[in-house]
Amino acid sequence: MVKHLLTLACATAALSVGATSVVDYTIDYSTYTEFPFYVMGYTPTFSDGVMKASYPGEWYQFFAADGYSLNSVYTYTVTVKVKSSKAGSIGLNVGWGWGDGEQINSSMNVTTEWSEQSVDFHNVGTASAANVVMQPGTFDGDLEFAWLKVSHEDTSLDPALQCMIADNLPQDATLNVWDCCAQYNFPSAVEAGTYTLKYDVYGLENGTGSIWGTVSDAGWYGGGDFDITANKWTAVSKTFTTDGPMTMLQFVFGGKYTGKTLYFDNISLTKEGSTENLIENSDFKTADLGHWSRPSWLKYDLFVGNGPANTLGIGEIEADANAAPAYYNLQGLRMPEGNLPAGIYIKVTGSKAEKVAIR
């Protein structure tokens, strides 16, 4: 296959991004033996590799998923592999509360054969910890569920621009710093030690933010402030020591930053003496928040989307004026010689640097 190199000025048409299917949440019920969610008057059972529910003689409902993020700009699809002892229809509820704009109801068909049933949900309110509630109601068939998936179609994401976006932030300088924050919940507690946190941040206004962490049984510790420069990516590096296991990392900016939007990219956390990055999906090329969320009582939007082009680190690249062109990815890492995968790169020839697309 011949690959064509285009400068971005000439490649607008070639860089259009098609629809991207983003999986926000999956659960395989065969991995459970007990009900893992909040009980709302009825508890499903688990056997033969499936979750089972039967009519208890009165209207009933139960959680089928919990703890994923919703962004009100997307249409979400809930897909379930389900089987019933009789054909019929059951209700579904998606959202994070029971008020207007917080949840939406729909229905799903079930048959006597295993089938994958999908239901679309539009304009659900943004949330960092949403759920799916099955509502069989008075349907008297015996239900079996193999797995469930929540996904959405994103037609706008450009992998070269993806970052974490905190949007529609309250513009109120009197807020407490903890009234706006983006938090990363570690899958397992990070042991005590000295760590270096690096990330890039971009704001629409000048301001500051802070780094906080949660230490098990020891409250909060402060990791120091960071500057936010209007309309410019800024690289931040903070080294700190925690005396106990750390369960959560927070960027807090309530009252310190009064702009509407913040962008974060290239987040890494490494322990002294190690190069392992403890932050998953640190460049947000996987189009979901993963372990990132905002506390449920906060009403701003936190999601993965397109941000300003970020070429931090490229200015530090040295190149001989007579050298052959060298190619770097958008994180400033030099790419191996030879055929490059399709994508967007920085081409450096001598002292000249330009962004190019290879397709």
**Beta strands of 127-245 (E only): which ranges?**
127-137, 143-154, 162-167, 181-190, 193-203, 207-215, 219-228, 234-242
24 and 152 Cβ atoms separated by less than 8 Å: yes
Supply the pTM of this predicted model: 0.55
Q: Are residues 281 and 339 in the same domain?
A: no
What domain range includes position 168?
162-306
Q: Kindly write down the DSSP assignment for every residue of 231-283, as one continuous string.
A: TS-EEEEEEEEESS-EEEEEEE-TTT--SS-EEEEEEEEEETT-----STTTT
What does the longest C-alpha to C-alpha distance in the chain come to?
82
Asked whether residue 136 falls in the same domain as residue 239, the answer is no
Backbone angles phi, psi at 329, to 5 degrees: -80, 180
* Residue pair 292/183 in contact by the 8 Å Cβ criterion: yes
- Do 276 and 210 reside in the same domain of the chain? yes
Cα separation, 147 vs 155, whole angstroms? 26
Residues 209 and 115 in one domain: no
Ramachandran category for residue 98: left, alpha or beta (phi over 0 → left; psi -120 to 50 → alpha): alpha
Of 94, 119, 154, the residue at which a domain comes to its end is 154
DSSP 183: E
- pLDDT at position 32, please? 94
Alpha-carbon torsion 260, 96, 144, 290, what sign? positive
Angstrom CA distances, 92 to 3, 62, 102, 125, 310, stand at 47, 10, 14, 16, 41
Q: Are residues 87 and 173 in the same domain?
A: no
Q: How far apart are CA 157 and CA 291, in angstroms?
A: 20
For 179: left if phi > 0, alpha if psi spans -120 to 50, otherwise beta; the answer is alpha
Residues 63 and 125 in one domain: yes
Res 269: pLDDT: 92
94 and 41 within one domain? yes
Residue 184's beta-bridge partner residues? Answer: 249, 292
- Counting the structural domains of the chain, the total is 3
Residue type, 218: A
- 174 to each of 111, 204, 248, 298, 310, how far by Cα in Å? 56, 19, 25, 15, 31
Q: Quick check: 99 and 133 in contact, CB under 8 A?
A: no
> Which of 154, 175, 207 is the last residue in one of the domains?
154
Q: Given 154, 187, 204, which residue is the final one in a domain?
A: 154
Residue 316 and residue 305 in contact, taking contact as beta carbons nearer than 8 Å = no
Residue 39 belongs to a domain with what CATH number? 2.60.120.260
**Three-state SS annotation for 269-331:** EEECCCCCCCCCCCCCCCCCCCCEECCCCCCCEEEEEECCCCCCCHHHCCCCCCCCCEEECCC
What residues does 356 pair with on adjacent strands? 7, 345
Same domain, 173 and 257: yes
Say yes or no: 333 and 204 in one domain: no
Integer Cα distance of 333 and 358 in angstroms:
16
Query: Do 122 and 211 lie in a common domain?
Result: no
Identify the sign of the CA torsion 326, 282, 153, 157. Answer: negative
pLDDT at residue 350, rounded to an integer:
59
Q: Which residues in the chain come in under a pLDDT of 50? A: 1-18, 314-321
The answer on 288 and 177 residing in a single domain is yes
Contact by Cβ (8 Å): 121, 152 = no
Pairing of strands 326-328, 219-228: unpaired
46 and 179 inside one domain: no
From the number of C-beta atoms within 10 Å of its C-beta (0-12, 13-18, 19+), residue 260 rates as: middle
Phi, psi dihedrals of residue 268, rounded to the nearest 5°: -135, 145
